[in-house]
Amino acid sequence: MILTDLRTQNSGRQYLPQPTTERTSQSPNQELLPLTARVNSRDCLEIGGCDLITLVEQYGSPLYILDEFTLRTACRQYREGFKQYYSGESQVIYASKAWSCLAVCSIVVSEGLGFDVVSGGELYTTLQALEKMGLGEKAGEKIYFHGNNKAVDELEYAIAIGCTIIVDNWLELETLVKLCTMVHKNSIKIMLRLTPGIECHTHEYIRTGHLDSKFGFDPNQIEKVLAYVSQHEQLDFIGLHAHIGSQIFERQPHQDLAGVLVEWMKKAGECGLSVRELNIGGGLGICYTEADDPPSIEEWVKAAAQAVEKACQIHQLPLPKLIAEPGRSLIGSACVTAYTIGSRKEIPGIRTYVAIDGGMSDNPRPITYQSVYRTVVANRMSASCEEIVTIAGKHCESGDILIKDARLPQTQPGDILVVMATGAYNYSMASNYNRLPRPAAVVVNEGEANLILERETYEDLIRSDRLPTRLTNLSS
Ligand SMILES: Cc1ncc(COP(=O)(O)O)c(C=O)c1O
């Protein structure tokens, strides 16, 4: 682990990025800051060669700052890991729910990854990115469509593009058979998602592999589902899928999953169905604090890939194409959010609140999952931590607390507070609560910053608003 200076969260200094020449071998998911983070001669935090204070002056705050190098490094480590540790074919697909936008999808596809999408909107965004990259023709082979309640028009959209559909339930299976006949397709590529009954130690809202989950077929019905699929030639069965949860630090659950999936592969064979692809989902955790200790991307890939190979050997099955669909561990550590500090409320003997210009609308994870984050004052990186404060968002909600008990230097209004590891499930879960426009995002690389998401305006906020005709008539 390269978290050497995280001790500083408990000592007098702020977290400082480690100078290193080995950036490509660091596993991004084990770092709190993007791999290119450093402190510059102005004592300010720099990422991707860009001074964060200058970025805020230019683009305003709150601001998501995405480091291209870190994202690309994570993509490569996954891709190369599977090449190294799996003898069969493999494909890494990005769980785009982590952060879906044109720029992110374009970077990810340029690294050779495919996509997991869970809605018509994610499908549309991914497709637009592929088309802009001249890869529109390949969309069908690159995109896997998930979801526990896909609408008929979403299914039709995915079928028209030729995506593989990861079927979640009986209604969907039956709908696909009907749609195939209606849209005159010979067959539709499908995988079956099953609930593997594997428990892992993560927040209950992001746990999906236990039997009491809304996702996937009940494994007790596997024979029935496989029999149905084998009897319907409209369904081109590609393989099996399971995802056990997110922010997982142990390797064992995915090794267990490999065993379960390969046993199901055997059952599929007994029903005359050959599993060409096996999808082990995502779930590798990242560091949000110094206490977090996930395996590196390479270690995770090695454990999962070797477990699949071993299980296939035991059951004497040919190696399927192995698919993994990480989200958080690809992009989580590649981004930080910069805020401007505003008001302060001191309650002697109880707590000091320091307020920022964003909060639960740009990062809903603390209020949703009680997630914990680390932060630094980016315009005075070498300042000593002198107090413990609570970072409050600006929303009209007592629970809008971004960080409880953050160790920080004395702050003043106008200081720039940087919250680390905000690349996953922040922008993608952002809302306009209290009618706050969503922040801008920039991608930084080798000293250059590019705007990838414009800051929303007040006009954007009412763009879809309509007055009922009765009221419009009254005013005229
Ligand atoms: C089906 C599926 N695949 C992949 C992922 C990505 O998980 P993670 O971001 O933890 O890698 C998720 C997220 O929960 C998911 O539901």
The whole-angstrom separation of Cα 445 and Cα 90 is: 29
Average pLDDT over residues 257-285: 97
Q: Is residue 51 part of a domain?
A: yes
**Strand blocks (E) in 286-424:** 321-324, 335-347, 351-356, 375-377, 387-392, 401-408, 416-419
The whole-angstrom separation of Cα 267 and Cα 307 is: 18
Q: 111 and 78, same structural domain?
A: yes
State yes or no: pLDDT of 347 exceeds 50: yes
Q: Work out the end-to-end distance of the chain between its first and last CA atoms, rounded to an integer number of angstroms.
A: 68
State yes or no: pLDDT of 138 exceeds 80: yes
Q: Is 182 exposed, middle or buried (0-12, 13-18, 19+ CB in 10 A)?
A: exposed
Q: Is residue 39 part of a domain?
A: yes
Cα atoms in the 13 Å half-sphere on the side-chain side of 159 = 26
State yes or no: pLDDT of 2 exceeds 50: no
Q: What is the CATH number of the domain that holds 326?
A: 3.20.20.10
Ligand 1 centre from 156 Cα, in Å? 23
pLDDT tier for residue 4 given thresholds of 50, 70 and 90: very low
Q: Is the CB of 328 under 6 A from ligand 1?
A: yes
Q: Is the CB of 77 under 6 A from ligand 1?
A: no
The token pair that represents 233 in the structure block: 């030639």
The whole-angstrom separation of Cα 78 and Cα 94 is: 10
Q: 182 and 163, same structural domain?
A: yes
Q: 58 and 98, same structural domain?
A: no
Asked which of 331, 357, 381 is the last residue of a domain, the reply is 331
Per-residue pLDDT tens for 72-97? Answer: 999 999 999 999 999 999 999 999 99
Catalytic residue among 44, 163, 287, 396: 396
Q: 173 and 77, same structural domain?
A: yes
Q: 126 and 49, same structural domain?
A: no
Q: 315 and 406, same structural domain?
A: no
396 has catalytic annotation? yes
The whole-angstrom separation of Cα 115 and Cα 98 is: 11
The whole-angstrom separation of Cα 194 and Cα 215 is: 8
The whole-angstrom separation of Cα 216 and Cα 167 is: 8
Q: 118 and 236, same structural domain?
A: yes
Q: Is residue 4 part of a domain?
A: no
Q: Is the CB of 438 under 6 A from ligand 1?
A: no
Q: Is residue 474 part of a domain?
A: no
How high is the pLDDT of residue 206?
Answer: 53
Partners of 391 in the β-ladder = 354, 403
State the virtual CA torsion across 400, 403, 404, 405 in degrees, nearest 10. -150
Q: 320 and 197, same structural domain?
A: yes
Ligand 1 centre from 404 Cα, in Å? 27
- One-letter-per-residue 3-state SS of 36-58: CCEECCCCCEEECCEEHHHHHHH
The whole-angstrom separation of Cα 423 and Cα 360 is: 15
Ligand 1 centre from 242 Cα, in Å? 10
Q: Which residue, among 373, 419, 298, has the nearest Cα to 27 in the 3D structure?
A: 298
pLDDT tier for residue 3 given thresholds of 50, 70 and 90: very low
Ligand 1 centre from 313 Cα, in Å? 27
Atom of ligand 1 nearest to the CA of 166: 1
Q: 338 and 406, same structural domain?
A: yes
Q: What is the CATH number of the domain that holds 44?
A: 2.40.37.10
Asked which of 331, 353, 380 is the last residue of a domain, the reply is 331
Q: 280 and 217, same structural domain?
A: yes
Instruction: Write down the mean pLDDT value for the chain.
Output: 94
**Which of 18-22, 204-208, 277-281, 349-353 is least confident?**
204-208
The token pair that represents 209 in the structure block: 């592999």
Asked which of 314, 331, 348 is the last residue of a domain, the reply is 331
Q: Is the CB of 294 under 6 A from ligand 1?
A: no
244 neighbors 280 (Cβ within 8 angstroms): no
Element (H, E) at 226: helix 222-231
Q: 359 and 388, same structural domain?
A: yes
Per-residue pLDDT tens for 18-50? Answer: 877 778 889 999 999 999 999 999 999 999 999
Q: Is residue 1 part of a domain?
A: no
Q: 294 and 268, same structural domain?
A: yes
Owning domain of residue 310: 69-331
Q: Is residue 476 part of a domain?
A: no
The whole-model pTM stands at 0.95
217 neighbors 194 (Cβ within 8 angstroms): yes
Q: Is the CB of 147 under 6 A from ligand 1?
A: no
Atom 13 (ligand 1) nearest CA: 246
The β-bridge relationship of strands 164-167 and 143-145 is parallel
Total domain count for the chain? 2
Q: Is residue 475 part of a domain?
A: no
Q: Is residue 356 part of a domain?
A: yes
The whole-angstrom separation of Cα 251 and Cα 255 is: 6
3-class SS of residue 390: strand
The β-bridge relationship of strands 143-145 and 114-117 is parallel
